[in-house]
């Protein structure tokens, strides 16, 4: 049998192969170690140089044509199999929707939407920044240089990478770097909130290595603590949907604010339907049966922070505050273990989750449950 005849026969049989198994069998028959085309290639070593010069190109062309035919036939069979599978796996769009929509909005996502709605009504924009932050933005620009003892307050996850301008990269320990980046980019006046994920090496019933935080920043002329107190009162009354929210400002210390104040909110102890006592915000903590709960930290932005953000501290003043989003959700919706937020338990999500149609609005009440 001539090489031309062998090639024609091989191509015809390959074209007629009707499944992947038959095609693989032909590949072994032609190109395997004992295959007919492979056998022809082995004869080249026994030929004279003159014969090899004539027969060699023919045999190599035969092998190439068989290889190409096998590849093309395999692609055709695979395409046909995929088309058959797609035709069989049809989706009937005329089927009725389930009575109960599947899935729910996580409480953290819902609370972030509530915060954005409330602060947008007060003229705040939402700002974001990188979660992998450089040491300068996370600490130094916030008045915490290398030797500052306040760095010990943050259980930081350090990364091995070096920051572009020197120093180390970290998983941000707060969203305060967003404030610095926003002041450098936008200047003053500025009014923003910065919600997002933050990371600290801590884990128990009320702490997790990753949690959510929202910080607020107002920079302008003539800003004072009275503006801060009004902003926080307005926010908390709208968020908890109570007009009897009472705040107490307590002197404290944060390196990026001066003066700094802890904000306490009054609460009362009430018995729930399950027989357990829970704290319900509202009323003065000095009333009988009431108390004060530390809720968030705040203060007037430190002059050094304003200066390192590229603004003139003699012209611009402002306040900042920060609070845990997860903690706000726990207080408002009666959760007692922060770790459950990240367990992914479907039963917990069904109980505490929100309908995707339940969009927070101030007119309807930001915490309305579907």
> Across residues 359-369, what is the average pLDDT?
65
Average pLDDT over residues 104-118: 91
128, 263: one domain: yes
Question: Which range has the worst mean pLDDT, 106-110, 165-169, 212-216, 321-325?
Answer: 165-169
| Burial classification of residue 125, based on how many CB atoms lie within 10 Å of its CB (0-12 exposed, 13-18 middle, 19 or more buried) | middle
Is residue 306 located within the same domain as residue 203? yes
Q: What pLDDT is stored for residue 89 in this prediction?
A: 83
User: Which H/E stretch holds residue 352?
Assistant: helix 346-352
In a domain, 94, yes or no: no
Distances (CA, A) of 329 to 107, 110, 123, 231, 353: 7, 9, 23, 19, 11
Burial tier of 109 (Cβ tally within 10 Å: 0-12, 13-18, 19+)? middle
Instruction: Decide if 365 is inside a domain.
Output: no
Any domain includes 212: yes
Q: Token match 């933050």: residue?
A: 198
Together in a domain, 269 and 301: yes
Place of tokens 């920044």: 129
**What pLDDT is recorded for position 308?**
92
Cβ neighbour number for residue 88 with a 10 Å cutoff:
7
- Given 53, 88, 123, which residue is the final one in a domain? 88
- When comparing pLDDT for 359 and 18, which is higher? 18
The boundaries of the domain holding residue 345 are: 107-352
Please tell me which residue, 60 or 153, carries the higher pLDDT value: 60
**Residue 26 to residues 7, 63, 158, Cα–Cα distance (Å):** 13, 13, 58
pLDDT of residue 274: 65
Position 368 in a domain: no
Split into its structural domains, the chain has a count of: 2
Please check whether residue 369 lies inside any domain of the structure: no
- Whether the pLDDT of residue 363 is over 70: the answer is no
Is 217 a member of any domain? yes
* Residue where a domain terminates, one of 55, 88, 121: 88
Indicate the residue among 61, 88, 115 that finishes a domain: 88
Mean pLDDT along residues 82-92: 84
Residue 48 has a pLDDT of 87
80 and 114 within one domain: no
Contact status, residue 10 vs residue 27, Cβ threshold 8 Å: no
Residues 6+ apart with CB under 8 A from 21: none
pLDDT band, very low/low/confident/very high, at 56 (cuts 50, 70, 90):
confident
Residue 370 lies in a domain: no
Q: Where are the alpha helices (DSSP H) in 190-245?
A: 225-240
Q: Is residue 180 domain-resident?
A: yes
Q: Are residues 41 and 137 in the same domain?
A: no
Single out the residue of 174, 165, 172 nearest to residue 194, CA to CA. 174
Q: Do 127 and 61 share a structural domain?
A: no
Q: What is the pLDDT of residue 321?
A: 96
User: Whose CA is closest to 294, among 318, 269, 267, 272?
Assistant: 267
H, E, C per residue of 118-163:
HHHHCCCEECCCCCEEEHHHHCHHHCCCCCCHHHHHCCCEEEEEEC
Using pLDDT thresholds of 50, 70 and 90, give the confidence band for residue 40: confident
Q: Give how far Cα 199 sits from Cα of 80, 158, 161, 196, 362, Å.
A: 50, 10, 17, 10, 31
Check pLDDT > 60 for residue 369. no
Average of per-residue pLDDT across 195-215: 82
Q: What is the mean pLDDT of residues 168-196?
A: 93
pLDDT-derived band at 344, boundaries 50, 70, 90: confident
pLDDT for 231 beyond 80? yes
Query: pLDDT confidence of 370, banded at 50, 70, 90?
Result: very low
How crowded is the C-beta side of 17, counted as CA atoms within 13 Å?
Answer: 25
Task: Please identify which residue in the block is written with the tokens 């304003």.
Answer: 306
With a cut of 60, say whether residue 96 has pLDDT above it.
yes
CA–CA distance from 209 to each of 40, 197, 202, 216 (Å)? 67, 10, 5, 22
pLDDT of residue 112: 92
**Do 252 and 325 belong together in one domain?**
yes
For residues 207 and 72, membership in a common domain is answered with: no
pLDDT tier for residue 273 given thresholds of 50, 70 and 90: low
368 φ/ψ angles, rounded to the nearest 5 degrees: -60, 130
Residues 73 and 120 in one domain: no
Give the pLDDT confidence score for residue 91 in this predicted structure: 75
Q: What is the pTM of this model?
A: 0.67
Looking at the structure, do residues 264 and 347 belong to the same domain, yes or no? Answer: yes
- Integer Cα distance of 278 and 272 in angstroms: 7
Same domain, 114 and 75: no
**pLDDT at residue 206 greater than cutoff 70:** no
According to the per-residue pLDDT averaged within each range, which of 13-22, 42-51, 164-173, 201-210 is highest?
Answer: 13-22
Burial of 188 (0-12, 13-18, 19+ CB in 10 A): buried
Cβ neighbourhood burial of 209 (10 Å; 0-12, 13-18, 19+): middle
Residues 179 and 325 in one domain: yes
Q: What is the pLDDT of residue 325?
A: 92
């Amino acid at each position: 049998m001539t090489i031309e005849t062998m090639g024609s026969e091989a191509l015809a049989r390959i074209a007629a192969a009707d499944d992947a198994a038959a095609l693989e069998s032909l590949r072994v028959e032609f190109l395997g170690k004992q295959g007919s085309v492979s056998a022809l290639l082995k004869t080249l070593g026994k030929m004279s140089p003159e014969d090899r010069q004539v027969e060699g190109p023919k045999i190599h062309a035969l092998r190439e044509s068989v290889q190409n035919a096998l590849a093309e036939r395999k692609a055709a069979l695979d395409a046909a199999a995929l088309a058959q599978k797609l035709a069989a796996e049809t989706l009937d769009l005329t089927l009725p929707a389930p009575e109960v929509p599947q899935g729910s909005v996580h409480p953290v996502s819902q609370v972030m939407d509530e915060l954005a709605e409330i602060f947008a009504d007060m003229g705040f924009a939402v700002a974001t920044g990188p979660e992998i932050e450089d040491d300068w933005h996370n600490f130094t620009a916030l008045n915490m240089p290398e030797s500052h003892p306040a760095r010990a307050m943050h259980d930081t996850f350090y990364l091995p990478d070096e920051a572009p301008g020197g120093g180390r990269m970290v998983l941000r320990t707060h969203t305060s770097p967003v404030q610095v980046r926003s002041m450098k980019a936008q200047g003053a006046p500025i009014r923003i909130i910065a919600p997002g994920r933050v990371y600290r090496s801590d884990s128990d019933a009320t702490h997790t290595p990753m949690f959510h935080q929202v910080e607020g920043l107002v920079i302008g002329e003539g800003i004072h603590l009275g503006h801060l107190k009004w902003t926080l009162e307005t926010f908390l009354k709208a968020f908890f949907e109570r007009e009897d929210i009472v705040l107490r400002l307590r002197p404290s210390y944060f390196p990026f604010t001066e003066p700094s104040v802890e904000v306490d909110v009054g609460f009362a102890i009430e018995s729930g339907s399950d027989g357990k006592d829970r704290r319900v915000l509202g009323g003065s903590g000095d009333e009988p049966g009431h108390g004060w709960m530390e809720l968030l930290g705040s203060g007037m932005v430190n002059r050094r922070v304003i200066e390192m953000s590229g603004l003139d501290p003699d012209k611009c003043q402002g306040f900042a505050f920060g609070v845990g989003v997860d903690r706000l959700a726990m207080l408002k919706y009666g959760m007692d273990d922060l770790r459950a937020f990240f367990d992914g338990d479907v039963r917990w999500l069904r109980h505490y989750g929100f309908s995707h149609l339940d969009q927070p609005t101030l007119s309807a009440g930001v915490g309305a449950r579907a």
